[in-house]
Structure 1
Amino acid sequence: MPYEYVVKGRNHLIPEFIDRYNNSGKIRCENFNQLTVAHELNKSDWYEVDEALIDKNDPNCVWRKAVKLKRNKGSRCYRETIFEMWSPARAIALYCLFNLPTRGQQILWLDSGEADKFKLICNGYKSIELDDKSHIVPDFKWVKNDNPLVGLQKTDNQGVLHKDGDNFVMFVNTNKTGKPYYSPYIPERLVPWLIRLRDWQTKYNPIKEPTRWTDVHFDKHIKPSNAVLTNRGTQCFLFRNPGAGNRNTDTNNYQPLKQNIFANSLAKVLYEIQDDKTPLARKRGSQYTSIYSPHTMRVSLITSLVLYGDVPLHILMKVVGHSQIMMTLHYTKMTHSNMASVLTIGEKKALERSAEHKQALMMENKIHEHKEELVIPVNSALKNPDWPQSSVLFFDYGLCPYGATECSNGGDRDVSSSSKSTPAYSAVSAGYLGKQNCFRCRHFVTGIPFYIGLLAKGNEIAEARQYVSNKVCSLNSKIEHMDVMIYKLESKGQVVSPEVRLKHKRLSNLLEQEQVRHDALGCDILSIFKLLRQTLTLFDKEEQSKSKVPLVLNTNSLSINLEEVSHHQALAEVCENAEIFLSADSNTALPRRSSSLDKMLLRNGFPAQFIHLSEDNQLKVGNQMTQLMLARLGGWGELNHVLDGKRPIDSISLQESDKLVPLSEEIQMILAKTKLLEEE
């Protein structure tokens, strides 16, 4: 989704300013009573209450009278006037979705901080001087928490607004495949609304004790193990709904909202902000549908923060988490403006041949004739027209003006340096390429001639990151199992052996090492993504000027996207690129892709084949077989099912025809040819 609609959607739901009642200007939006759009999100947000519970002087208490049909046993229906209050939980959760690149379910499991010793309050707004300008910002302050829940949780400071000295950070108490994490990144506009929701829950929807994770009602596909739930202990869920159906009757606690609360409400907001040129959602009766899901919001926010946000990459990687992501180059043909296609193998090869030609021209001392096709840093040596060609080192994905000799000062500016006239820089951060990590180096130059090679390298790193992610998940699982075991021993007063303590420490050290690798690779991916997006602007300039032909896609509009894909698709992408690009390396992906294909063959009555092939033939035959199955099964959706063993090879074919050879027979022919290759 274009980022402009993300901004438009959140401002529609909760605007910064609203009109005064007499239309005499604007006032700041500061209470739930002013959120007229949010009041209409969903009828179930209104619930019946006793009039005594309503504080008519509280602007955050939204209430109304309603006439409801009721029936006594054995009598006719009658009308009764009732009082209803509005729960802001859904609206604020959706507002979080418009602001935080965090998974929807993680948002709904955030802790309110009602049991913490301190709570953050907002004392209105204050003026501060920043960059010689006055700015109006919220006036936040930490005070002692007077909630009776204080101290009832095993660990203090669990709220989403986490106390960090006099400041605060965002605490995400759950993570799909890892431990909770802290993030300095949280939009300031969001914080006052989180505070208001916390206070509203305390006043109008209080709980007697924190909710046990073991009492939470999970959907089957997201339920953690009992050991993990036990280890999590208790939580004061911020997004709990006061409706009777959401109460756990056994413990008198409330359940957190489930992720399905986003679907209709998100589509409704998108429907209300769309225009004729860009339809975002549809309405059928009282229901709204949209092709843009909560996941779309996450991807849009991550993309915008990479490109435009002043958020350090290592912090952003915490938000991205452990998803298998891949950078996909799409092109939209001008004659079919609504049709976007992923580059085919043939188009990749054509791009690579064109790129090689341009790189060859540059190496022939013509680099300065192609500067308009390069993303050149502001203080780059290439700005000097007399810079010697012999100093330039070329790669498939870019070039280094210094011949890889200035990596020691290619990093961020050293703020501790006392020299103002000659700024000092740290060494470039290590990553996938080691200490010579071009993608995060301030000297690195790339551009149109290197675009497709850079894209291939980015997806190679993305797959390598997923491999590390799997190791992180495995180590996390082992540590959590040991945490539960140690907790049980200590709770019974039993001694935990030194061997167990030592093993736990070793696992924790290994986990820390792998997490450092995981974050470093993630930063590389986002750096490459940013470089690719910068290069796209050069394509646009080339197209407008018509002075040169930008590779082979001068008739197309390009776009680059971050997408979550299956493990099989990521492996296939790396292996496919390894046959096309010199810089591509499939050493880690190829064995796992071959193992996956062998398992598929065994499940479908074929002998394992790839284990007996050379690496070159594993690559060629695997790519050939993957392309065949994609063509016959109609895409990765069905192919993933076949590779996962959920369907046999011949169960589905989009081109159902008696004339077609069964897919299994075509695979048999490929395997027969493979044997001949090996014998040669």
Structure 2
Amino acid sequence: MAKGIISELTDELAISFLALQHYPVDQDVIDYLNERSKADDEFLPLVEVLTFRGGIPYKENLKVLEADNAIELVKDALKQAYHFESLKKNQTTKRNAIIILLSYIAKYFQITSLQEITLEVWNSIVAQLKNEDTSYREQLAERFINATRILAKTLAKVHNNDEYIAAISIKRSDYHFGSIAAGYEKWHSLFEEWRDGLLLKSTKDRNASFSKLLNYLRTIENSNDPFVFLATERKYTFWKYLDDNDVNNKRAAALNMNDFANWIIEGHLTEEDEDGGGTSIGYPLLTAKEIKLVIDTKYDNKSKPPESVKQSMPTKWLMLCKEILSEDEYAWPKSQEKEYIEVVNSDTNKIERIWCPVSTHLYLIMCELPVRRIQVKSSDSGEGDSQIYSQEDKKWVTNTSLHAGYWKQLGNKVAERGFIRKIHSQGKETVGIYINTNKTQDRAQGFSETSGYEIPWHNESIIKYAYELLAWQEKYNPVKAPKKYKDIPKNVWSTRPTELVKEIIPDRFYLFRSPLNPSVDSPPADWLLNRFWLALMDELEKRLKEQGEDVEIITDREENGVPKASIFTPHGLRVTGLTAFVENGVPIDILSKIVAGHASILMTLYYIKHTPAHVSEILTSAQKQIEDNQQIDFANWLKSSAWADAQKYSIFNDEQTAKGVFEQGVRALWESNQLGLCPNAGTLCNIGGELLRKAGKNGKDVYGEVPGGVGNCVRCRFFISGKPWLIPLWLHGNKLLADAQKLSIDVEQARTELEVLYGKRKSIAKEKGAAFITSSLKAEIKSAEALLARKTETLDQKLCDAHATYRLIEGVRCLANADFDTSEAHKYIPIRLVDSPEETKFFEQNKFRQQDLLVQASRLYAHVRDNDLEQERNHFIDKVMLNAGMMPITMGSLTETEVKNASDALASYLTYKFTDQELNQLDANAVTLQQLGVKIQSTEQLINMAKTHTKALENNKDQQDD
């Protein structure tokens, strides 16, 4: 045997193996282990032997190894370790430690090859080397810890399973403070008590801050006792230490640890008196002067930037990702060998390999929905809900799940928790999406069952993916009960919440529970999702290159070609596409109808009935004059008002900015415009946008320009409005929706043209090769891509403007029921205001009706005037008249004014006389006016009929006023 080994391994190793064969285990070792086993039934032979022999020189230590199985295992393991480069051939110290470790593994677990070390066996081995808190046992030498890590990497490659590496992961907080906290146990104990009492979804920031504090304390004599330290005045302060050493994220560290120190002082160094006050003997970690300095130091050169530096995936590539994931009944995901589980077929009693769709469906939903990955992972399946949505019947039906009605039976506040949720929007019951966790909003809700938010978007694709996955889970991965958050393995989440948050987060039937995990009722571990993501990016790069794109998405690979890193992360999916879909304002289902369906949408005020007669009643010159006077009166009143009164009866985009404007007391530049008031007479549009950088030492915040440019008041932080501008705001909102509908068609056309070019390039690459793609075609594609990007950006801005306008309208609506007893503001109530709890509503309607409303309104309100829109409306009228055998108005001998008046009258008549369906039929030339019952023979007769109709409406209105 020795000769064979010498031919394959080094002479030194061969000598070692010969030594293994000829030397039995030392008698003192056997005696020691026998004594330990008698004294302690739970003793761990592996760690005990490594500890006992750890201090003996390597060649002596070889004598304790015996049996041929150890030789075979060591031989196999070293070959594999060298092959996968988890061990270099010149790393003799590490190699020697591995030999010793493996030899004892072979002895105590009867293992002869790495293939025999299953994950279950490996977990048993690791359990002997670690404490319950996952830290390595103190008596274990560092070289054996390193040997364990190398062995884990090698096993992961051999078994193609990264869970071997996950098994040796260390609980970060405890290990993180293990060495630097030595001697500072009291600080450590107090810190964990303070940290775990906070409502934190992630403890990472506080842990990092505490590490910096411990490093600082080590520079101070007699700092081990926190009570003594904080009761003593200090010359060398924590902030000075952070500043002197140019420590990363020093501002966060200073503020976090100052809060921690104040907590100690308040709880342990302060004595309450009878009046409820207190006397403290503690000195805060930061002085008042330092606190001000820290606050001014908003960002240092090593802090992370305000915006993510991760690459955002282009929309065209996002669409290709969706295609890769979903085409041919999920063909590509099903080709991924690591996405399969083994189940026993109950009919045949045989083991079958079943594809697990969890990762696929998670990323498909992320391609559709602008949310973070952790939010999707946290989603509830709805198995415990009372009802479930039927895509086939298009209605909510009784849930027949094994756990149906679970939350209701428990008497929980929130009985319906599913990702697909019944919601009420625009006064009707509909289907939406429930995101049960949100980084910002959860702070107010405390991470409880009431946390999260709804998205009122009936997205058929998302519903399909969610219920497909639910059906798969109930068949192949059913659960007996919801999962407690605190029982989920640590490697599932990228952050670690405090103990308090763990207790508050509700139990869930996780929709994305993954049987690829050891814990099958938990969401997939991040490493599983990252592995799938890298494979997806690899496939994306491959297909793009096949289409002739010169791209490099995978930036690093293993030696065997497996991708290790990518320019894109899953986070990049969230910021792809229209940002308007993540803004608050116009319901997302309405945006979807405009963008995807190119629908014409009318927003109606809650007190304006949805009829042409009533709308025309509102839009009269007399009412406009009253409204103008109200705007003047309100502006004058506001200029002389205090902030407290203005706050009650006005609406602002940014209340903090508005408060500053009022407190400055300079009102000379205040100017009324068509939508509200500008306190700067339009001179500060260049700084009316979002905050770019918080105030530094110069004391000035830095702001960007108003989104959309000069004059886009609805997006300006200085803008002020109120009830007298409600109707102008309403008209502006409808004009924006009409513009967005038109732009959505332009975007679709640009996308279609680009797809044709992509098809040409793909065809050439497939038939002849990428080298045959001409430079002119490449240039044409680049130009088309740039055009699509510009048009998409314009559409996005228009939708965001609509959001902002809608928020202003809703703000004014909330002002309608304010208490006016303490002010003269009661004079400034909009025309025809009727107190009503109804929401502002949106209706899908005929495009001509939408156009006519805006054209008729533009006669009084210049801010919605649009010549192109008016020409489109008039073109419809001309087409209808031609189809009826009459001369179109615009082709006659009428003057421009006469054409305008005649077109307005005829448009009013058509919108009043016909339904949306009939108007659509007229637009499609499917029917004529005569066929719809209009008895006319000439253009003049039709115009006179329309004018008579208009006059009748005006007389009716006058009678109502009387």
State the TM-score, normalizing by the size of structure 2.
Answer: 0.40
The yes-or-no answer on 1:449 pairing with 2:449 is no
CA distance in 2 between counterparts of 1:366 and 1:407 reads 21
Contact kept, 8 Å, 1:348 with 1:452, in 2: the verdict is no
Aligned with 1:380: secondary structure?
helix
* Cα distance in 1 for residues equivalent to 2:858 and 2:907: 14
Deviation at 1:602, TM superposition (A): 1.8
Does 2:418 align with 1:97? no
Is 1:143 the counterpart of 2:527? The answer is yes
Shift of 1:329: 2.8
Distance in 2 of aligned mates of 1:184 and 1:581: 27
SS in 1 for 2:710: coil
CA separation of 1:509/1:668 partners in 2, compared to 1, >3 Å: closer, same or farther? farther
* Counterpart-to-counterpart distance in 1, 2:842 and 2:499: 34
- Select the residue among 357, 360, 365 that pairs with 2:632: 360
Measured at CA, do residues 357 and 368 of structure 1 come closer, stay the same or move farther in structure 2, by a change above 3 Å? same
Tell me what 1:81 maps to. Answer: none
Residue-by-residue CA offset, 1:536-594 (whole Å, 9 max, x unaligned): 11222268989436133244536422333333233222212111213331223112212
String of CA shifts for 1:433-469, please: whole Å, max 9, x gaps. Answer: x333211001001111111112212222222222222
- 8 Å CA contact 1:361, 1:367 repeated in 2: no
Instruction: Give the superposed CA RMSD.
Output: 5.0
CA contact (8 A) 2:602 2:850 kept: no
Q: How does 1:84-233 map to 2 (within 5 A)?
A: 97-99=432-434, 100-107=455-462, 128=497, 136=505, 141-144=525-528, 155=540, 168=571, 181=577
Partners of 1:34 and 1:103 lie apart in 2 by 21
Cα offsets for 1:471-524 (capped at 9, x unmatched): 211111111112122212221116232222222221111111111111111111
Greater share of helix residues, 1 or 2? 2
* Alpha-carbon offset, residue 317 of structure 1: 6.4
Counterpart amino acid of residue 626 in structure 1: A
CA contact (8 A) 1:629 1:663 kept: no
Aligned letter for 1:550? I
Contact 1:590 1:618 in 2 (8 A): no
The structure-2 alpha-carbon separation of the partners of 1:501 and 1:109, relative to structure 1 and needing over 3 Å to count, comes to: farther
Are the aligned partners of 1:590 and 1:619 in contact in 2 as well (CA < 8 Å)?
A: no
Alpha-carbon distance in 2 for matches of 1:387, 1:63: 62
Q: 1:345 aligns with which of 616, 624, 646?
A: 616
Aligned residues: 450
Residues 141-194 of structure 1 deviation map (CA, whole Å, 9 limit, x = unaligned): 4334799xx779963899xxxx9966547679xxxxxxx9487989xxxxxxxx
Q: What's the secondary structure of 2:702's corresponding residue?
A: coil
SS of the residue corresponding to residue 595 of structure 1 reads helix
Pair 1:518-2:903 in alignment: no
Question: Superposed, which structure 2 residues align to 1:289-328 within 5 Å?
Answer: 305-306=584-585, 321-322=595-596, 323-324=598-599, 326-328=601-603
Match of 2:923 in 1: 643
TM-score (structure 1 length as normaliser): 0.55
Q: 1:607 to 1:637 in 2, by over 3 A?
A: same
CA distance in 2 between partners of 1:638 and 1:486 (Å)? 44
Task: Give the structure, 1 or 2, with the largest relative contact order (CA under 8 Å, sep 6 or more).
Answer: 1
1:631 aligns to 2:912 (yes or no): yes
- Pairwise CA distance, 1:664: 6.7
CA distance in 2, matches of 1:622, 1:130: 70
| Runs of 5+ consecutive residues of structure 1 not aligned to the other structure | 1-27, 46-59, 65-90, 114-120, 173-179, 187-301, 334-338, 654-660, 675-680
Return the offset for 1:359.
Answer: 2.1
Task: Measure, in 1, the Cα distance between the counterparts of 2:887 and 2:381.
Answer: 67
- 1:477 equivalent in structure 2: 752
1:424 aligns with 2:702: yes
CA shift in 2, pair 1:110/1:168, >3 Å: farther
Give the C-alpha shift of residue 601 in structure 1.
1.9
Q: In the superposition, relative to structure 1, how do residues 425 and 183 fare at CA in structure 2: closer, same or farther (>3 Å)? A: closer
Q: Distance in 1 between matches of 2:928 and 2:733?
A: 33
Counterpart AA for 1:450: W
Q: For residue 425 of structure 1, what is the amino acid of its counterpart? A: Y
Call closer, same or farther: CA 1:424–1:154 in 2, change over 3 Å.
closer
Distance of aligned partners of 1:400 and 1:598 in 2 relative to their CA distance in 1, 3 Å threshold: same
Structure 2: distance between partners of 1:600 and 1:477: 30
Distance in 2 separating the partners of 1:604 and 1:517: 39
From the two aligned structures, give the one with the greater strand fraction.
1
Contact 2:889 2:902 in 1 (8 A): no
- Counterpart contact for 1:368–1:385, Cα < 8 Å: no
CA contact (8 A) 2:602 2:845 kept: no
Matched, 1:409 2:680: no
Alpha-carbon shift at residue 667 of structure 1 (Å): 7.0
* Distance in 2 between residues matched to 1:470 and 1:480, nearest whole Å: 15
Equivalence map 1:244-259=2 (5 Å): none
Aligned to 1:670: 943
> Contact (CA 8 Å) 1:400, 1:445: kept in 2 or not?
yes
Quote how far apart the aligned CAs of 1:398 are. Answer: 0.9
1:483-522 correspondence runs (5 A): 483-493=758-768, 495-522=772-799
Q: Are the structure 2 counterparts of residues 421 and 621 from structure 1 closer, same or farther at C-alpha, using a change threshold of 3 Å?
A: same
Alignment-derived partner of residue 397 in structure 1: 675
User: Structure 1 pair 327/642, CA: closer, same or farther in 2 (3 Å)?
Assistant: closer
Paired residues of 1:391 and 1:401 also in contact (CA < 8 A): yes
Aligned pair in 2 of structure 1 residues 527, 419: CA closer, same or farther (>3 Å)? farther
Does the 8 A contact of 2:671 with 2:677 survive in 1?
yes
Give the share of equivalent positions with the same residue, in percent. Answer: 13
Give the structure 1 partner of residue 809 of structure 2: 532
Cα gap change, 1:354 to 1:387, in 2 (>3 Å):
farther
Higher Rg:
2
Q: Contact 1:411 / 1:441 at 8 angstroms: preserved in 2?
A: yes
Question: Secondary structure in 2 aligned to 1:562?
Answer: strand
> Which letter does structure 2 place at the counterpart of 1:478?
E
How do 1:260-279 residues align onto structure 2 when only pairs under 5 Å count? Answer: none
Residues 352 and 580, structure 1, Cα contact 8 Å, conserved in 2: yes
Secondary structure in structure 1 of the residue aligned to 2:497:
strand
